Amino acid sequence: MADLSNYNPAGRFTGLAEKYAKYRPSYPDSAIDFMLTHCELGPLSLVVDIGCGTGISSRLFAERGIPVIGVDPNDEMRRLAERTAASLPSPIPDYRKGRAEETGLPDACADAVLAAQAFHWFAPAPTLTEFHRVLKPGGWVVLIWNERDESDACTADYGSVIRTAPDAAAVETPRGRAGDVIFASSLFVDAARFPFVNEQKLDADGLLGRAFSASYAPRDPAAAQVFARGLHDVFARWQRDGTVTLRYETSVYVARKPA
């Protein structure tokens, strides 16, 4: 399996922050509520969101009254997260520059360390060691991914276009299995995976924005035009009343640092 930490994860989303923030799917309420209950998180807890990007996941916890520190190496993504956070009620997420393998955070500071749609970009062994270091005894690692549910015909049709993009297979194949590493780690116990249903309704511009928010979407004008034409065809086939619905399975992996 490819090590995606060698694919320039800190830099490859530069230029995509606005699209990422606007068009990426969020995570279902049922998944977030499960994490709060399973990991016993509340207003006195601290969640560290590693690879927080534009703050999609950080905001979901902050909106539920959970203090959050978001860590990301990409200045553009992090600054957009900071601008968005300014309009939130307290507690406003605290965004900091850092890497998954070296967060710069103190020992045993976090009740949960979260990586949402991000862990596959990290070097697994040093990242899990760093997560273990910053977690309090009994604290939780939480890894989340939205993956296309291609048992749905529209989503499968969309996926067939996505797979024509450069590096799509190189990113998507290891991403789909990245959470399994938590089951083999000797640093954590009580590892488990929980699936949730998720969906995203998009108009024509939204479908293109969703696809072009991917780091592997073509940026060469000619290739991007062909890619967009395929997406327009998908939209024309499947739209109902001006929108299509993409289906996802949201995977939540959890594991606990021994007390």
User: Is the CB of residue 218 less than 8 Å from the CB of residue 165?
Assistant: yes
**Into how many domains does the chain fold?**
1
Give residue 170's pLDDT band: very low, low, confident or very high (50, 70, 90). Answer: confident
- Residue 83's Cα: distance from chain center in Å? 19
How confident is the prediction for the chain on average, in pLDDT?
93
96 within a domain of the structure (yes/no): yes
55 within a domain of the structure (yes/no): yes
The Cα angle at residue 7 between residues 113 and 173, in degrees rounded to 5: 75
Q: How far apart are CA 105 and CA 107, in angstroms?
A: 7
Q: What's the pTM value of the predicted model, to 2 decimals?
A: 0.92
| pLDDT at position 1 | 41
Among 102, 35, 27, residue whose Cα is nearest residue 72: 102
Q: How far apart are CA 100 and CA 110, in angstroms?
A: 14
36 within a domain of the structure (yes/no): yes
Is the predicted pLDDT of residue 31 greater than 70, yes or no?
yes
pLDDT by residue (tens digit) across 75-121? 999 999 999 988 888 899 999 999 999 999 999 999 999 999 999 99
225 within a domain of the structure (yes/no): no
Mean pLDDT of 214-228: 93
φ and ψ at 48, to 5 degrees? -105, 120
56 within a domain of the structure (yes/no): yes
What CATH number does residue 86 fall under?
3.40.50.150
162 within a domain of the structure (yes/no): no
221 exposure class (CB count in 10 Å sphere: 0-12, 13-18, 19+): exposed
Share of residues in the chain with pLDDT > 90 (%):
85
43 within a domain of the structure (yes/no): yes
224 within a domain of the structure (yes/no): no
Helices first, then strands: H and E counts in the chain:
10, 7
| pLDDT at position 174 | 66
DSSP secondary structure code for residue 51 in this structure: T
Domain around 46: 4-149+168-199+248-256
| pLDDT at position 6 | 57
Q: How far apart are CA 182 and CA 197, in angstroms?
A: 22
Mean pLDDT of 39-47: 98
**Beta strand segments in the chain, E:** 47-50, 68-72, 94-97, 110-116, 135-148, 189-202, 244-256
